[in-house]
Amino acid sequence: MLSSRRQRILCALIEEYVASACPVGSRTIAEHHKLGVSPATIRNELSALEEAGYITQPHTSAGRVPTDAGYREFVDGILSDEQMAASIPHPSAIEALKKSADALDDLIERTNAELARLTECLSVIMAPVSSEARIRQISLVSLSDSSALAVLVTDDGQVANENVIFTEPMPADDLQALERIMNNALAGHATDAIAELANATDPALKTAAARTVMRSLACAAATLTRARASRSGMSTLMRKPEFHESQSLLPVMEILEDDTVLFKAIGRDGQGSEGIKIRIGHENAAEQLFGVSVIAGVYGRGPAQGMIAVIGPTRMDYSKTIGAVQAAQSILNGE
């Protein structure tokens, strides 16, 4: 357990380092923060903090830099202070976003842009996926003589569509009949039950046309459970001094390339719990994220949960970022 003074010195050092990105010396701390002690005393404390693993020296004649453990201590201090409630920023921005809320995808996109702007980091919002969604309605819309579009709507308002190409011409009446058959057979069932139902005994589902439609619907349903991410703020991240050589950004970029990979990397163990997960440097499960911190939170009620994550240098303004993620949560929860 750290003494109060050491804690204050650690905080001062981190604040300084977050602002400057340069190793911080004892004199700087003494000058910029009114701790009432001389640099020499601070040096002694810094030495102890280094011993304990909270800070480190790049080389003998340089100042100190926080370690992952140092940031962790700092962040835990912030969180226990419960000063967070006060730090949720910019209610006006939130209002503006809620007013413009049309479709969910659009709201996600806007919120994400705002989140990236506020935090000056990379931000990612994953659309909610719910394997438990049920089929509310199916529409078959004719596109040509022998092709149609199958549109599937779930009870939580998601939409998926897929082309259907019939082997022979399909008159409008037959298509409508087929649509009725599909709705009778599938409405109310879980989206992932389509494949099973295709094997059911209902003779109406055994026609060639019905099978074709079922196949397309299964494809459409599959796209609903696929992770879909919106990204914003990559260029902001590139401007930070720690990422000036792109080598340091490469692992992050690799993770970002694929929605599914990204989902796994960010979502590990964050699922289900309501609060905000903070993973600093090596606390991340994915090796590619060892060099950055991830502030993640879930949103959405019930089974359909989405995820918000801000990715930035370990040297980030944690307080501001946590507040911003909370604000994004409340926007997307429709509060």
Partner DNA sequence: CTTAGCAGTCTAAGCGCTAGAGTGCCAGCA
Partner DNA sequence: TGCTGGCACTCTAGCGCTTAGACTGCTAAG
CB of 47 to a second copy, least distance (A): 36
Pick what 33 binds: DNA, a second copy, none; C-beta below 5 to 8 Å, kind-dependent: none
239 lies in the site for a second copy, by CB under 8 A: yes
User: Half-sphere exposure of residue 163, counting CA atoms within 13 Å on the CB side?
Assistant: 6
Dist. CA 267–CA 265, nearest whole Å: 6
> In this complex, which beta carbon is closest to a second copy, that of residue 47 or of residue 100?
100
- Residue 93 as a binder of a second copy (CB under 8 A): the answer is no
What residues from 59 to 98 belong to the interface with DNA (CB under 7 A)? 59-64
250 contact choice in a second copy, DNA, none (CB below 5 to 8 Å, kind-dependent) = a second copy
Indicate which single residue of 6, 7, 15, 37 sits in contact with DNA (rule: CB under 7 A): 37
117 burial class (0-12, 13-18, 19+ CB within 10 angstroms)?
middle
What distance in Å separates the CA atoms of residue 248 and residue 101, rounded to the nearest whole number?
Answer: 36
Query: Which span sits near DNA by CB under 7 A: 24-32, 137-145, 155-163, 168-176?
Result: 24-32
For the window 96-125, what string marks contact with a second copy as x by the rule CB under 8 A? ------xxx-x-------------------
Q: Residue 257 corresponds to which tokens in the numbers above?
A: 């390339």
Q: In what order do the strands lie in the sheet with 292-299?
A: 229-232, 122-129, 305-313, 292-299, 276-280
Residue selected from 247, 274, 302, 335 as contacting a second copy according to rule CB under 8 A: 247
Return d(Cα 112, Cα 235) in angstroms, integer. 14
Q: Answer for the pair 78, 18: CB distance below 8 angstroms, yes or no.
A: no
| Choices 29-37, 55-63, 123-131, 228-236 (CB under 8 A): range interacting with a second copy | 228-236
User: Rounded to an integer, what distance in angstroms lies between the CA atom of residue 167 and that of residue 209?
Assistant: 8
